Structure 1
Amino acid sequence: MKLSKYLFTGVFMFSLAGCSLFGGEEEIVQVSPSPTVNNQFPIQQVWRNSTTGNTHIYSLLGPINYDNAIYAASRSGQVKAIDLSSGSTLWDVNLSQSTLFSSKTALFSGGVSADDKYVYVGSERAVVYALDRQDGKTVWEKTVKGEVLARPVPSEDKLIIHTASGILQGLNRDTGDNLWDVSFEVPALSLRGNSTPTIAHGAAIVGDDNGRVNAYYINDGQLIWQQRISQPSGSTEIAKLNDVDSTPVVEGNLVYSVGYNGSVVALNLSDGQPVWRKELGSIHSFAVDTNRLFIIDQNDNVQAIAKNGGSELWTQSNFAHRQLTDPVIYQNYVVFGDFEGYLYWLNAENGELAAKTQVSSSGLISKPLVVDNKVIVQAKNGDIYAFTKN
């Protein structure tokens, strides 16, 4: 059973009483109002494009950049290539299936990725598509071993897929043929989402739903190491969740990762042994700069953590339970969105809120994208925006 990552501030926003899943005691969640700020600089919308909407659906679909083009998808099956500078549409295809008597949406869910030849997107129907990057024509589509909730990751001649069934698959990127697969143990209850693998030195580094970070050779799927960073604890099922859904960050000989109800860790890339560990739980991938990790914890506090040792540098606590997106670094600011569609800029040095703008009342869920001095965001209704700081 997969629970929405925003369960606490979604279906069960105000009262969790009377449900055995959470225990017998009432638990009230207080959602902070959007903080007020006098913008320290103007935020300019450069362009806007759109895909068919996802407004009422939980979806982490977000755009990707490759070679000055933005590639984006909608849940229903639309995939677009957008010119980075102007926001104009380069090509637009729809992979939903319609006949005279019925229609079948693609249910895209796994995010979009691209390389020098193809654009890839995965779906809740356990299908992965490869499209020609130049014109959007379908090169292949293959059924894989579970819903694709994580972004497909291309590396050289392979495409690495992490499915909701706990399967890590290596596909041939030109044909979609399965080359190898490995299975993770999947608990009965987990958060809806999966870790997107990071490729480094011929290995796929990926989190699983049992609190571990894993390293596998991408050539044959052989295990290199596993390391637990989150341990089940507590008396309720929610307290026992220990998914590692973040995308690992690899720098030099270190792997940084974080788990729900767990820790943020720095692991040795060679053998997975912990270099340092700090108790801090999160569902989010984090942003990094030269010396710091910027982490949004599972209560939506924003923290800056030193890469060297994991000490806390600052915490910004004015966004409690606002269902924040993953953060990104833009110049010297930490940028993220929230469920009401606001986009925020925090000063990376001290965590001070420097500016905000409301992008779309439909809300923001997916991680913003920073490219060519622009912040690209996709709202829940499918609209895609480019902003710049003046």
Structure 2
Amino acid sequence: MKLSKCLSMSVFMLSLAGCSLFGGEEEIVQISPSPKVDNQFPIQEMWRNSTAGNTNVYSLLGPINYDNAIYAASRSGQVKAIDLSTGHTIWDKNLSQSTLFSSKTALFSGGVSADDRYVYVGSERAVVYALDRNDGNVVWEKSVHGEVLARPVSSDDKVIIHTASGNLQALNRNTGEDVWDVVLEVPTLSLRGNSTPTIAHGAAILGDDTGHVNAYYLNDGQLIWQQRISQPSGSTEIDKLNDVDSTPVIEGNLAYAIGYNGNVVALDLSNGQIVWRKEMGSTHSFAVDSQQLFIVDQDDNVQAVTKNGGAVNWTQTGLLHRQLTDPVIYQNYIVVGDFEGYLYWLNKDNGEVVAKTQVSSSGLISKPLVVDNKIIVQAKNGDIYAFAKN
């Protein structure tokens, strides 16, 4: 059972909803109000486009950039290519299926990703699509072994798919045919999300729902190493959740990762051994510069952690439980969005919130995209915006 994070990305949602699914006393969690900010610089909307969104459904669908084009999708089945400079639509395809008597939406959930030839997107219907990047025509579609909640990742002649049922599948990039398939352990209860694999040195490195980071050979799917970074503990089912849903970051011979109810760690990429660890839990992928990891923890504190040893340089607590997006680095700032549709700029040196703007009252869930000095964000209602700091 995948526990939806739509009620909160840090699993405070059951408490706020008055739900006693797991028994026992309910913990009441206070959401911090959006902080008042005197913007230290103007924020300009450069352009706006739109897909057919659904504000009532939790979805991490977010845009991706490749070769000065933005590719985005909606849950219903729309896929768009958008010119990065102008925001004009290059092509627009609808992959939902409609007949005289019925309509079947695509239920896109995993993606979008792109490479030099194709745009990939996966669905809750356990189907992966490859579209021609130039015109949006479907080149192939493939049924896989479970919902696709993580972005498909292409490398050389393969596309790697991580499904909600715990399958790690390699498909032929040009045909969609099966190459290999690995089954990962999945607990009875887990968070709704999956780690998008990172490809490095001929291996796919990813987290799983049992608290591990794993490395598999790309050629044949053989396990290279496995390391636990989050251990089940506590008396409630939520306390025992230990998913590693973040995308590992690879730099040199180190892999950085974080688990829910677990640790942020640096792992030796050659054997998976822990180089250092710091107790800190999150479902979010983090941003990285030359010295620090920038982490949104499971309570929505934003923290700067040193790469060398995991010491905390600063913590921003003013956005507590605001269901933040993954953080990104924009110039000398950390940028995150929240459930009310605000976009925040934090000073990278000390965590101070120095600017904010409300993008869309429908809210922001997916990770912002930084490209060509612009921040591209997709709101829950499907609108896509490009902002820039003036």
Please state which band the TM-score falls in when normalised by the shorter chain: over 0.9
Matching residue of 1:337: 337
Per the alignment, in what secondary structure is the counterpart of residue 209 of structure 2?
coil
Per the alignment, in what secondary structure is the counterpart of residue 179 of structure 2?
strand
TM-aligned CA deviation for residue 12 of structure 1: 3.1
Matching residue of 2:378: 378
Matching residue of 2:16: 14
TM-aligned CA deviation for residue 16 of structure 1: 4.2
TM-aligned CA deviation for residue 288 of structure 1: 0.4
Tell me if structure 1 keeps the 8 A contact 2:12–2:29: no
Tell me if structure 1 keeps the 8 A contact 2:260–2:283: yes
Superimposed CA distance per residue, residues 257-298 of structure 1 (whole angstroms, 9 cap, x where no aligned partner): 000000000000000000000000001000000100000000
Matching residue of 2:151: 151
Superimposed CA distance per residue, residues 186-230 of structure 1 (whole angstroms, 9 cap, x where no aligned partner): 000000000000000110000000000000011110100000000
Per the alignment, in what secondary structure is the counterpart of residue 186 of structure 1?
coil
Alignment pair present for 1:225 and 2:225: yes
Give distance in 2, aligned partners of 1:338 and 1:15.
Answer: 19
Tell me if structure 1 keeps the 8 A contact 2:375–2:386: yes
Question: For residues 78-97 of structure 1, what are the structure 2 equivalents within 5 Å?
Answer: 78-97=78-97
Question: For residues 288-327 of structure 1, what are the structure 2 equivalents within 5 Å?
Answer: 288-327=288-327
TM-aligned CA deviation for residue 115 of structure 1: 0.3
Per the alignment, in what secondary structure is the counterpart of residue 62 of structure 1?
coil
TM-aligned CA deviation for residue 349 of structure 1: 0.2
Residue 25 to residue 69, structure 1, CA distance change in 2 (3 Å): same
Q: Which amino acid in 2 is paired with 1:71?
A: Y
Superimposed CA distance per residue, residues 216-267 of structure 1 (whole angstroms, 9 cap, x where no aligned partner): 0111101000000000000000000000000000000000000000000000
Matching residue of 2:188: 188
Residue 11 to residue 291, structure 1, CA distance change in 2 (3 Å): closer
Per the alignment, in what secondary structure is the counterpart of residue 238 of structure 1?
helix
Superimposed CA distance per residue, residues 127-170 of structure 1 (whole angstroms, 9 cap, x where no aligned partner): 00000000000000000010000000000110000000000001
Per the alignment, in what secondary structure is the counterpart of residue 16 of structure 2?
coil
Tell me if structure 2 keeps the 8 A contact 1:15–1:28: no
Matching residue of 2:139: 139
Question: For residues 179-328 of structure 1, what are the structure 2 equivalents within 5 Å?
Answer: 179-328=179-328
TM-aligned CA deviation for residue 10 of structure 1: 7.5
Superimposed CA distance per residue, residues 30-67 of structure 1 (whole angstroms, 9 cap, x where no aligned partner): 11100110000000000000000121100000000000
TM-aligned CA deviation for residue 13 of structure 1: 5.3
Tell me if structure 1 keeps the 8 A contact 2:6–2:57: no
Tell me if structure 2 keeps the 8 A contact 1:6–1:323: no
Per the alignment, in what secondary structure is the counterpart of residue 12 of structure 1?
helix
Alignment pair present for 1:388 and 2:365: no
Give distance in 2, aligned partners of 1:6 and 1:200.
Answer: 31
Residue 261 to residue 61, structure 1, CA distance change in 2 (3 Å): same
Residue 275 to residue 45, structure 1, CA distance change in 2 (3 Å): same
Alignment pair present for 1:101 and 2:125: no
RMSD of aligned C-alpha atoms?
1.0
Tell me if structure 2 keeps the 8 A contact 1:15–1:29: no
Give aligned-pair identity as a percent: 79
Give distance in 2, aligned partners of 1:86 and 1:327.
Answer: 25
Residue 10 to residue 57, structure 1, CA distance change in 2 (3 Å): farther
Alignment pair present for 1:26 and 2:26: yes
Give distance in 1, aligned partners of 2:333 and 2:30.
Answer: 27
Equivalent pairs counted in the alignment come to 388
If the length of structure 1 is used for normalisation, what is the TM-score? 0.98
Q: Which amino acid in 2 is paired with 1:362?
A: S
Give distance in 1, aligned partners of 2:73 and 2:98.
Answer: 18
Per the alignment, in what secondary structure is the counterpart of residue 239 of structure 1?
helix
Q: Which amino acid in 2 is paired with 1:70?
A: I
Tell me if structure 2 keeps the 8 A contact 1:14–1:28: yes
TM-aligned CA deviation for residue 5 of structure 1: 2.1
Tell me if structure 2 keeps the 8 A contact 1:262–1:281: yes
Give distance in 1, aligned partners of 2:229 and 2:16.
Answer: 30
Give distance in 2, aligned partners of 1:262 and 1:96.
Answer: 39
Give distance in 2, aligned partners of 1:149 and 1:313.
Answer: 33
What runs of 5+ residues in structure 1 fail to find an aligned partner? Answer: none
Give distance in 2, aligned partners of 1:85 and 1:248.
Answer: 30
Tell me if structure 2 keeps the 8 A contact 1:295–1:327: yes
Give distance in 2, aligned partners of 1:122 and 1:6.
Answer: 19
What runs of 5+ residues in structure 2 fail to find an aligned partner? Answer: none
Q: Which amino acid in 1 is paired with 2:48?
A: R
Give distance in 2, aligned partners of 1:16 and 1:24.
Answer: 12
Per the alignment, in what secondary structure is the counterpart of residue 239 of structure 2?
helix
TM-aligned CA deviation for residue 7 of structure 1: 3.6
Give distance in 2, aligned partners of 1:20 and 1:198.
Answer: 34
Per the alignment, in what secondary structure is the counterpart of residue 121 of structure 1?
strand
Superimposed CA distance per residue, residues 60-95 of structure 1 (whole angstroms, 9 cap, x where no aligned partner): 000000000000000000000000000000000000
Give distance in 1, aligned partners of 2:152 and 2:217.
Answer: 16
Give distance in 1, aligned partners of 2:389 and 2:284.
Answer: 25
